[in-house]
């Protein structure tokens, strides 16, 4: 009986936590100021699960935590080319809670660095934030050029998410973009990896609402090859030149590429932690610069 009551208590607690997130967009909820984070990129941003030994990021404590984290997503298929939308899955136009997303092909589901990033944010006192994920199954950086498929998809997904916030009286700011892309860059795309990433950041700052001060955290790719070496180098060089951007390496996680291209569970969780740590460091650096400017 005691075990049964404990289980019922846990289920009730989890339901209440989930309801606490969902009330963000329920009538009558107190208006808040929401910090918005965007995750975009290709398959390792999407987070493949074809490696069947570790398809699930959850355990009991994490599930309780994830039920407190607001999450909105719309992911595109790699088979969509640059044409009309071919959506793998989405959150139905609603702000839900952190969870695995709909799968495709050999992947029963998708989940990527958003899980550990948001857990880190919440565990360290972050509240009133929203993670918006708009990732793609594959493709080079040409898809993220302004006017192309993924650029427009990021705009559309973010605008749909913040419309839910505005509908219920919340204000918001787009605080940061988390970017993980480059494994599928062609030779031409690799040569332009830094330039195109810079253009993406600048154009999104102009086209997204309340994004003028958006920071960017670039997760490095780990797959081998000359094109990928060039992509890594140019993305890092861009980040080194910009005050609003930082880059971190994942080369130490190469042994966790279960098919020489896609990260396994351990690596995805580690990359999410690195996104969080490097975001915090970049934000602190920005704060120091602003403080110095006021002196």
Predicted pLDDT at 254: 98
Q: What is the CA radius of gyration of the chain?
A: 19
Which of 9-13, 27-31, 58-62, 81-85 shows the lowest per-residue confidence on average (mean pLDDT)? 9-13
* Contact (CB, 8 A) for 120 and 281: no
**What are the two backbone dihedrals, phi and then psi, of residue 87, each rounded to the nearest 5 degrees?**
-85, 125
Predicted pLDDT at 27: 60
Predicted pLDDT at 119: 96
Each residue's pLDDT tens digit, 139-171: 999 999 999 999 999 999 999 999 999 999 999
Query: Exposure string (b/e) for 277-292, b if CB count within 10 Å is 16 or more?
Result: ebbeebeeeeeeeeee
* Domains, the chain, with CATH or none: 33-294 (3.40.50.1110)
Rounded-to-integer distance, Cα 292 and Cα 26, Å: 42
């Amino acid at each position: 009986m005691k075990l049964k009551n404990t289980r019922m208590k846990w289920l009730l607690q989890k339901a209440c936590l989930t309801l606490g997130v969902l009330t963000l967009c329920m009538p009558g909820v107190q208006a808040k100021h929401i910090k918005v984070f965007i995750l975009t990129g290709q398959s390792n941003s999407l987070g493949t699960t074809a490696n069947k030994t570790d398809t699930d990021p959850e355990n009991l404590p994490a599930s309780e935590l994830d039920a407190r984290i607001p999450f909105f997503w719309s992911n595109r298929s790699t088979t969509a080319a640059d044409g009309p939308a071919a959506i793998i899955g989405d959150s139905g136009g609603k702000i839900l809670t952190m969870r695995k997303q709909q799968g495709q092909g050999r992947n029963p589901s998708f989940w990527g660095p958003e899980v550990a990033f948001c857990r880190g944010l919440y565990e360290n006192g972050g509240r009133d934030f929203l993670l918006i994920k708009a990732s793609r199954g594959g493709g080079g950086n040409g898809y993220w050029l302004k006017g192309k498929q993924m650029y427009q998809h990021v705009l559309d997904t973010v605008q749909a998410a913040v419309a839910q916030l505005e509908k219920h009286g919340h204000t918001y700011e787009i605080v940061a973009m988390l970017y993980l892309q480059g494994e599928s860059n062609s030779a031409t795309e690799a040569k332009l990896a830094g330039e195109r990433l810079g253009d993406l950041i600048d154009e999104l700052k102009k086209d997204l609402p309340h994004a003028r001060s958006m920071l960017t955290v670039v997760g490095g790719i780990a797959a081998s090859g000359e094109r990928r070496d060039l992509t890594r180098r140019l993305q890092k060089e861009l980040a080194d030149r910009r005050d609003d951007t930082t880059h971190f390496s994942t080369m130490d996680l190469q042994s966790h590429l279960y098919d020489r291209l896609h990260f396994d569970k351990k690596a995805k969780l580690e990359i999410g932690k690195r996104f969080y740590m490097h975001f915090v460091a970049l934000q602190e650096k920005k704060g120091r610069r602003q403080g110095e400017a006021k002196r």
